[in-house]
Chains A and B, each alone.
Chain A
Amino acid sequence: MKWWQIKKRDADLERELRSDLELEAEEQQENGLSPEEARYAALRAFGNPTLIREHTRAVWSWNMLENLLRDLRISIRTLLRAPGFSVIAVLVIALCIGAATSLFTVVRSVLLRPLSFRDPGRLVTIYEHFRDPVFNAPGFNYNPVAPADFFDWRTQTHGFEDMAAWRWGQFNLTGEHGELPELVSAGGGSWNLFPLLGVPAAIGRTFIESEDRTDGNAVMLTWSLFERRFGGDQSIVGRQIHLDGKPYTVVGVLPKGFTYPDATMQVWVTYASGMPPAILQHHDFHFSHVVARSRPDVSLASALGQVEALQYRLHLQNMNAPVAEDVASKTLIQDLARDVKKPLILLLCAVACMLLIGCLNVANLMVARSAARQKEIAVRSALGARRATLIREQLMESLLVSIAGGVAGVLLSLAATKLLVNAWQDLPSAQSVHTDGVVLAFACALVFAAALLAGLLPAILSTGKGAIAALQASSRSTAGSRSRTALRKTLLTVEIAMTVVLLIAAGLLLKSFWRLRTTDVGCATDNVLTMSYSLPAKRYDSPEKVNVFNESLLEKVRAMPGVRAAALGSVMPGAGDRSSDSFTIPEHPRIASGTPLPDALYRRADPGYFSALQIPLLKGRFFTSDDRNDRPKTIVISQQLAQHYFPGEDPLGKRLHIVARGDADYEIVGVVADTLHQVGLPVRATMYLPIINGESDPGGVTLVVRTTSDPLASSVPVQKQIAELDPELPVSDVLTMQQIIEGSLRNASLSASLVLAFAVLSLILASIGLYGVLSYLTMQRIGEIGVRMALGAQREQVVRLMLGDGLRPAFYGLVLGLAVSAGAVRLIQSMLYGTRLLDPAIFAAVAATLLAVSVIACMVPAWRASRIDPMQALRTE
């Protein structure tokens, strides 16, 4: 029997039963009964024909589908009958599923599948690993690989399909037609890197083996540089560009989504290109990143084992050089996920909470509805409907709601994902974030989970009662259904507790972010423009030339209109640690060997630096234009250094011996106030050396300009001043001081604001739930309220009564939520700065907000209850 024959089969059964029933009646008639009596006798003998038909249908194989279709029909009808409920439930589910899907899309792209590489699961990165932790970077077991090690690995082991290496580099990109020179980050990749990753060139080709030589001059452009600098002109392929003044031929352009290892990479040359040949023979110059593709027929462990054995041999052969004993490996995906992992997981938790709250909310609404349908359900079960059937029907309803919500949610998430990716610029591989089959499957799973969560509990509870009990209960609605009300209040309490946890987490993150934002870095941050340049040692080969350039630049910039001050420094406050040196104090007793030497951040500054950045002088003097070159060496120290290493004595006139700069001691001429080297980290001792000393600093020089108005508006005029002095000198990192500080805070700001968004959504959901519960209670107690008012209860008393009913679960939820938060906040401890875990202000603010919102949510139904006309209430009873 096929499903399209169901109708025919039904008619067939009908006919069969009728004919047999008639036969029975005829036989009874033959026994001498009247036709009327015979029919009743036949029916008695036969039993209930409808029930027989139902039972017979149940054995048909397509019965399941038929039932499903019937349930579907009934559910759609019941949902349409209560449009208010349906719309709210669909919206709630849509919000939750939308948020969860968006976040899952991002998490999947970043943590689970970051790259549009061929078969990325088989790509691993291999690093060197020293057994002695002193050689490994602190807290870091993955050391870059030396070129000779890589070449040996690649040629002498056979466990991997292939191995490629790349290194960081930087070029001064100059144009042929007088375009501004530009400092670009460059990758040097072995010729097989792109085939190994499975990335073909978008235009032209990738490198070939013969180009991977020290004199190789092939270059590939990334899509962003190709678009930005060359206007997307395809004829650039085959032409030449100049990197550090040398001509390179463009062989291809990388595809748009390719941002490995990150989006700052602008051009790629070959691995060996431009390297001194000797370095490629070294086992102890660690600068390469190795990517390998594992073979399907060799286990990763054994392939790595081969490399490890080889590396240990290399270590034994080079005992005097720092050649690592072991190798360490991680998947390329892990390698790239970096520090966004934690905020993403935090957000996932927040979304999971919100999803749960949403489901509880819908469950609550369902309980309310099933209460309203109590009579219907009681009647149906009295007529023989099985409990399973009733539960199935209710589940079908919640499934329909979830599906509708899911569809709306996925549409919502398409828009939300785009917003999220735009806002989160630090996200690696942001380009590859998109919705696909797996994401849709995830959304489907959410839909079913939500349907089960929201539907099962109310369905089971609403059908559990015997028919008689239900009919009795529903005939006396003044009593209300105590158990169901209790259930709704419990659900609400849980909902509110979770909202409180989310709100507190959001509050703490926001406060921490606010603390970071408002941290006093210790210098001027408004209207300060910075830009960096690095004088090439080739052309600036004498101290005089360097000084002349630097001083004439300062002179020119200071003369510009709108410029209040200009100065030169090496590393700006807030820009990170960058460089530090150990020092000794010749006036102090010698430090016992074995104990670590004191250490301070190493900065360079010109005489105007401190006043330009408004760093106050505490003692002594700033540099003067005499502190240069071979004059007596002077140094300025920070307050922290003075307090820590010269406690109770005057540091002025004392000397510092900087170990790395061995030759001479530096006389302390001034003490300045502290600045933060990184927002969120404690102050470190800092020493400043004169920058006008003729050295062309390989780390580059930063020009600081304090302006009267919008600093970025001055950036082009200032760049023009530099180009006038040296048209080929590239300028990099044109940033305001604010941008430097905010750069490190962007993730903190984003996770704080997203968690807040989820918390606010949860708060809205919880207040909808609160409102719903109280409205329902009011409806249930109309009769009772009517009686109370008829007996003389005042409206205020009724309001107080109803308000108390609604606020009690809110209050319990609040207390529970606060208690849970006190434990749960430990999980975000490491993401907080300058904020106490149990910050009383945040806890109080959250409690106040929640109570206020609860009162508002409860006020409407309570007020409505107080407007009830007692006569009407009693009549509708």
Chain B
Amino acid sequence: MAKNTQQRANVLQGTLDMLILRTLVYGSAHGHEIGKHIQRTTNDFLQMQHGSLYPALHRLEEKGWVVSKWETAPDRNREFKYYRLTDKGKKQLVLEESQWKQMADAVARVMWPATEEN
């Protein structure tokens, strides 16, 4: 598990919301699952910090993009707080995704202009 900390990155400011929303597209999940999923999908490159995960989840809930419910986990015989994407959340995801793409394209054009021309 031990990795060079230099190669890990904190979740880019402002993209956490998008990542959470995207994760929830697969279905409802509780906080721990969401964190784990993001970490695992990026091969542990993105370190999820719980200190920012839970505030983000609650913020998304305040905005009405996700709803939460206490449900029993299928593999454990205990209740967890599951978050589910709302319709409003789906729209928000589309919006943030397109904004992110534009941003990434723009950054790419500045960073690698030659590649673009080829």
List the interface of chain A (C-beta within 8 A of B).
1, 12-13, 15-17, 19-20, 22-24, 26, 45-48, 51-53, 55-56, 58-61
Contact = CB atoms under 8 A, between A and B. Distances in A.
Interface stretch (B7-15, B54-62, B90-98): B54-62
B58 A20 contact: no
A61 B54 contact: no
Interface in B43-64: 49-52, 54-55, 57-59, 62
B81 A59 contact: no
Nearest first, the 4 closest Cβ-Cβ pairs linking A and B are A20-B32, A16-B81, A59-B59, A56-B54
A44 to B, nearest CB: 11
A26 B76 CA distance: 10
B78 interface: yes
Contacts of A51: 51
Contacts of A46: 50
A59 B51 CA distance: 12
17 contacts: A12-B81, A15-B81, A19-B30, A19-B79, A22-B78, A23-B32, A23-B80, A45-B50, A46-B50, A47-B50, A48-B51, A52-B51, A52-B55, A55-B55, A56-B57, A56-B58, A59-B59
Contact of B32 (A24, A56, A60): A24
A48 B52 CA distance: 12
Contacts of B30: 16, 19-20, 23
Given A1-B62, A47-B49, A47-B50, A56 B80 contact: no
Most B-side CB within 10 Å, residue of A22, A24, A56, A58: A56
Given A24-B32, A55-B52, A19 B80 contact: yes
Contacts of A1: 62
B67 to A, nearest CB: 12
B81 A19 contact: yes
B31 A59 contact: no
Contacts of A24: 32
Interface residues of B, number: 18
Given A1-B62, A61-B62, A20 B51 contact: no
Contact of A55 (B51, B79, B81): B51
B62 A19 contact: no
B78 A19 contact: yes
A175 B62 CA distance: 83
Contacts of B50: 20, 45-47, 52
A689 to B, nearest CB: 95
Nearest to A51: B51
A58 B55 CA distance: 8
Contacts of A56: 54-55, 57-58
Nearest to A31: B1
A43 to B, nearest CB: 10
B50 to A, nearest CB: 5
A19 to B, nearest CB: 5
Given A17-B54, A19-B81, A52-B54, A59 B76 contact: no
A585 to B, nearest CB: 98
A60 B58 contact: yes
Contacts of A59: 55, 58-59, 62
Contact of B62 (A13, A17, A26, A60): A60
A1 B59 CA distance: 12
A251 to B, nearest CB: 71
A12 B54 CA distance: 12
Contacts of A58: 55
A46 B58 CA distance: 17
A57 to B, nearest CB: 8
Contacts of A23: 30, 32, 76, 80
A201 B65 CA distance: 67
A56 B55 CA distance: 4
Given A13-B54, A59-B58, 20 more contacts: A16-B31, A16-B54, A16-B81, A17-B54, A19-B79, A19-B80, A20-B31, A20-B32, A22-B78, A23-B30, A23-B32, A26-B76, A47-B49, A47-B50, A52-B54, A56-B58, A58-B55, A59-B55, A60-B58, A61-B62
A424 B58 CA distance: 64
A20 B59 CA distance: 18
A61 B79 CA distance: 26
Contacts of A12: 81
Contacts of A16: 30-31, 54, 80-81
Most A-side CB within 10 Å, residue of B50, B76, B80: B50
Contacts of B32: 20, 23-24
Nearest to B49: A47
B101 to A, nearest CB: 27
A273 B78 CA distance: 100
Nearest to A1: B62
B98 to A, nearest CB: 25
Contacts of A17: 54
Nearest to B57: A56
A3 to B, nearest CB: 14
B55 to A, nearest CB: 5
A48 B32 CA distance: 15
Contacts of A55: 51-52, 54-55
Nearest to B81: A16
Nearest to B80: A19
A15 B30 CA distance: 12
Interface string B15-51: 0000000000000001110000000000000000111
Contacts of B31: 16, 20
A24 B50 CA distance: 12
A788 B57 CA distance: 62
Contacts of A15: 81
B81 to A, nearest CB: 4
Contacts of B62: 1, 59-61
A22 B81 CA distance: 13
A47 B51 contact: yes
A26 B73 CA distance: 14
B3 to A, nearest CB: 14
B69 to A, nearest CB: 11
Contacts of B55: 52, 55-56, 58-59
Nearest to B78: A19
A20 B79 CA distance: 10
A41 to B, nearest CB: 10
Contacts of A20: 30-32, 50, 80
Interface string B70-84: 000000101111000
A593 B49 CA distance: 104
A56 B60 CA distance: 11
A9 to B, nearest CB: 9
Contacts of B79: 19
A158 B57 CA distance: 70
A536 to B, nearest CB: 89
Nearest to B30: A20
A56 B31 CA distance: 13
Contacts of A19: 30, 78-81
B4 to A, nearest CB: 18
B31 to A, nearest CB: 5
A19 B62 CA distance: 21
B65 to A, nearest CB: 13
A13 B78 CA distance: 16
Nearest to A49: B50
Most B-side CB within 10 Å, residue of A17, A19, A53: A19
A764 B50 CA distance: 57
Contacts of A53: 54
A577 to B, nearest CB: 79
B38 to A, nearest CB: 14
A394 B34 CA distance: 41
A272 B58 CA distance: 81
Contacts of B58: 13, 56, 59-60
A47 to B, nearest CB: 5
Nearest to A9: B58
A58 B58 CA distance: 10
A16 B76 CA distance: 15
A26 B78 CA distance: 12
Contacts of A22: 78
